[in-house]
Amino acid sequence: MVFTSWAFVKFLAVVLVGLRIMPTRMLRQLLILLASAYFYAYWEPAYLLLLATPSLIDYWCAIAIEDSGKAHIRKRWLLFSLISNLGLLAYFKYTGFFAETIAGLFGMERPQLDIVLPVGISFFTFKTLSYTIDVYRREIAACRNMWQYAMFVAYFPELVAGPIVRASVFLPQMTRSLKLAWPRTLVGLQIILLGVTKKLVIADRLAPFADAIFAAPELYSPLTVASAVLAYSLQIYCDFSGYSDIAIGVSRIIGFDLPENFNMPYAATSITDFWRRWHMTLSSWLRDYLYIPLGGNRKGQIRTYVNLMLTMLLGGLWHGASWTFVVWGLLHGAGLAVHKLWSTVFPGQRRPFRGVVGWALTYGFVCFAWIFFRSPDFSTAVAIVRKLAFIDRAGVDWVYSPLWIILPLVVLGHFIGLTAARQARIAQSPRRVPPPAWAAGLYASVRNRFA
């Protein structure tokens, strides 16, 4: 069920009406759980079993981990949880990929496997993994209410496209009444409107152009191909962040606060800054559950760079089972390693590439990496790179007017966002100058309406 479809609008309306009339918090939670099950079953009812299996396994594993006082027993339960979750993910998402790779290496006929990838499996697998790991680390207590834990795993707004919400963020909010309130509803509607605008007005308008060029780049001129790469960079950002905004807005109306997932990533002035802004719940997950356990930056410079490369390589595979995604991850891993080295050589204010130059280099690198992320195969990616390098100059020109209408709007939106962020930092500064009384009064009178 797509967030921007009428089916979802009707589904959400029924859920909100149900929350309004349910007399108790327990009934509201049960309603959300049933609605989440229906939401996932809308795509393929049989895969509800797939969603329930890791949920039950991790529920009991976490309790066993918490109750056991012996380190080796706790590790065994954690290992069982990891193997079961990653095993399901590997079977559904990577069996075909590895089979094709092995067949290609040995010159064998590529197998035809009929494995349908369950929607959202990457997201809810990472969510349940973080739960059992956090319980093992004694950072959170095991949830002993099966229905509340099932609701955490299956919660429909962020089930299939994120943000990746950790149990430490979600479960403490289960004490909320979940009664609909107008101030939260107004804020949620504004966030939803922002997400719908990103998705329908920007991403969906740019998709036909990017799809056509990436399907046959050899037919088009270098400038047309370059504009398609630019269009895709805007499309994927507005598509992904738009879905996250809708999930956050819907949750705000229901009564849950989900973490921010995007913070104007194309305003980043370094690749490290980009990953602090892009898909923030994934980047923090990779940092806390992969990069740091690998050793982080605690075992010397060389090991730090290797850890960055491994983390981003696996992050690329998480996005998709293809070697093009692996290359995308390796590019970002190399970019993070180079930036870390550069920051060591030129610390603080001595760094020569900052401001506009740093932004241009970062955005150019990100767009170059998007070529491999979007291309269906390496031959397509190579053809695009040849066009951008003007090695292949042949092809027709296609001036896609919606791109040049949308681009100024995106730039304006970033300008407004950066200005608002700067003003927020000034307002929170201990050195801030108190506003005039009339301005403070006006702000107080409208803050609830325009929160």
Residues annotated as catalytic (active site), given as ranges: 319
- 69 to 66, 73, 141: CA distances (angstroms): 8, 8, 14
Bridge partners for 220 per DSSP: 396
Amino acid present at 130: S
Q: Which residues have CB under 8 Å from 389's CB, separation 6+?
A: none
Distance CA 440, CA 451 (A): 15
Distance CA 162, CA 179 (A): 24
Distance CA 302, CA 278 (A): 26
Length of the chain: 451
DSSP 6-25: HHHHHHHHHHHHHHHH--SH
- Residue 16's Cβ-side half-sphere holds a number of Cα atoms within 13 Å equal to 20
- Grouping H, G, I as helix, E, B as strand and the rest as coil, residue 60 is helix
Whether omega before 222 lies within 30 degrees of 0, making that bond cis, reads no
Distance CA 213, CA 211 (A): 6
